[in-house]
Chain A
């Protein structure tokens, strides 16, 4: 149910020990792209000691391990599977890679990254794999493999985004959008996040802590949505009927369920 997923470089003590300050709903401690290959052992040991010393963190912690082809894949999992984490973010995801991860990881949640054309085509199978709780769209690697330019306007991402959002909705898992990489561009970030939300994404990943507030605000239910949800549930309790009319619109069970989820989110985010 997290709205924001903040990447934290896993070998940078200054960021690691402050990971709970940024008020992101979830944090992804990164062992992959932000850690040099010769320091990946250092990152594992740093995070082991950090989470053992400070196990109680507000906010959900994931670790982006190295991909299944990488020599560090197994070591990453063995070093962290007994720590207090919610699960793993798996780059270059495939059904086989998820299998291998499940074999090693003792039932922790998995968020596969869809960052290639093949993964996009396989996203249904990936989404329904064991322990998968969401999909993260990785536009950087995706556009690289497609051989296309990534633009701020993001028309080239419309199809993969829509596809992922549909798959996630269909299988009732989280749809997490790709980070908006332009720094200090709050207007651009807002537009990008709203576009993602409009397509059905439930959350957005980010690398700049200053983006947390905007993303949390956009992916939270709005005050109007919350009010409406309260009204629907109130009337539902009063009438004790499965279907009724409110403001001239038909309210049935799916809509009542959605209203319940909205209030659950609002509670969780303190709105």
Chain B
């Protein structure tokens, strides 16, 4: 009803057919989302065409880069890529750029910052290629139905709204109306029908299981104790955790506390897993705000639970979006490859300067949440997680409140309020300097091996500030 003004979108059946309508030589800024993660079949398919046509000076805007996106590496090696702007980068592309750099710049943004940049016209996207598992002939789309359903389409929505040309790539085209579409047909220009957009079992990354490692278990236990002692676990609280094993263990421990104490949370946000869904269906939380699904149970939940709500990256974490969900976030649990004496956190590079990730929502949630907690083993092999200065700043220290390790907890001196609340705690609270010294008692102090000669990229925070640079290995 009331859909009379919808027009059918032009339908093509191959990438070659698409470029009969679009000038492949003129539209060089192209974007993709990463919702199918390592199971994506669209990025390689589309980029193969650019490879074959030898299109030069491409600027890519993928929301993340996973190891499976091998065509990106081929394009780079063929000198066809200029700039890459993304929120996360791991695998062959990351290794290559760490060693060689790009002709242009690698700009690492945050999930919220990417949405903001696109909205404000700073990132100008010519073509947005959007893998969509369930599309109708009017160009409406949702992510949680169809044979390749991957759940929330959060990262693609802003692209569909602001790109010059929006192409939905689907393997499941229907004629019926779609209720509450995530992508609106009014923003879509073409539909590209393919046999398969990818393998949705690939959305499960290796880290979405609750940890059983005794050290991780202890860190999680101390984290939930800390949150409880800070008085944060109370009716109506809101919470977000990463998908790492320790973060999920914290979620599990919190669940036990909430059941015992009869506490209901207002919302969980971010990447959603079966553990979050379970708590929704147990009545322990009111709403799930989903920007991406980390497993298939979450995808199915989107379909059947009306309080499991898919949201765009802008509504999730754009600092200038009035609906920004995380502005009401009480607690976020995050990981780190490194943290320094000023509480700056690195999740972008490892200690050998290889790019292994990126902010994703790390800096966004740390900036907005009332309390941000980093969970990490103090020692990983012989390397302490605490450095004098992190290799790369992903999230600024002023936004990080606590570090929980198996050997002690450090609270940022900027948070005297939290320090005061923990005066009589049984938990081992120390300064980050003390924790660092403790680590060195075991390992000795490492030699500083970071090279800072050639800049190959920048870390752009959600405020548009460049907070650090990436240097060639």
Give residues in A with beta carbon < 8 Å to B: 17-18, 21-23, 184, 208-210, 213, 270
Contact = CB atoms under 8 A, between A and B. Distances in A.
Interface string B184-221: 00000000000000000000000000001011011001
Contacts of B214: 21-22, 208-210
A108 to B, nearest CB: 27
A22 B212 CA distance: 13
Contacts of A209: 214, 217
B426 A21 contact: no
B426 A270 contact: yes
A18 B221 CA distance: 17
A21 B442 contact: no
B79 interface: no
B218 A22 contact: yes
Contacts of A184: 212
A17 B33 CA distance: 44
Given A21-B215, A184-B212, A208-B214, 5 more contacts: A21-B214, A23-B218, A209-B214, A210-B214, A210-B217
A23 B218 CA distance: 9
B215 A18 contact: yes
A23 B426 CA distance: 13
Give the top 7 A-B pairs by smallest Cβ distance, nearest first.
A209-B214, A21-B406, A210-B214, A210-B217, A270-B426, A22-B214, A21-B218
Contacts of A210: 212, 214, 217
Interface of B: 212, 214-215, 217-218, 221, 406-407, 426, 442
Contacts, number: 20
9 contacts: A18-B215, A21-B214, A21-B218, A21-B407, A184-B212, A208-B214, A209-B214, A213-B221, A270-B426
A208 B276 CA distance: 28
A184 B210 CA distance: 13
A14 to B, nearest CB: 9
B172 to A, nearest CB: 40
B242 to A, nearest CB: 22
From A17, A21, A23, A208, residue with most partner B Cβ within 10 Å: A21
A182 B215 CA distance: 19
B214 to A, nearest CB: 4
Nearest to A212: B214
B442 A17 contact: yes
A197 B212 CA distance: 27
Contacts of B217: 209-210
Most chain A CB inside 10 Å of its own CB: which residue of B214, B221, B442: B214
Nearest to B442: A17
Contacts of B221: 213
Contacts of A270: 426
A17 B406 CA distance: 13
Contacts of A213: 221
Most interface-central of A18, A23, A270 (chain B CB within 10 A): A18
A130 B127 CA distance: 84
Contacts of A208: 214
A20 to B, nearest CB: 9
Contacts of B426: 270
A22 B216 CA distance: 11
| Most chain A beta-carbon neighbours within 10 Å: one of B212, B215, B217, B218 | B218
A107 B381 CA distance: 37
Nearest to B405: A21
Nearest to B214: A209
A193 B256 CA distance: 21
A3 to B, nearest CB: 16
A21 B214 CA distance: 9
A250 B172 CA distance: 80
Contacts of B215: 18, 21
B154 to A, nearest CB: 35
A91 B299 CA distance: 54
A23 B408 CA distance: 13
A184 B218 CA distance: 15
A18 B406 CA distance: 9
A37 B442 CA distance: 28
Contacts of A23: 218
A210 B216 CA distance: 10
A208 B212 CA distance: 11
A209 B218 CA distance: 10
Contacts of B407: 21
A261 B212 CA distance: 35
A97 B212 CA distance: 39
Contacts of A21: 214-215, 218, 406-407
Nearest to B426: A270
A184 B406 CA distance: 21
A184 to B, nearest CB: 7
A15 to B, nearest CB: 9
A186 to B, nearest CB: 11
B222 to A, nearest CB: 10
A21 B406 CA distance: 7
A23 B427 CA distance: 12
Contacts of A18: 215, 406
A260 to B, nearest CB: 23
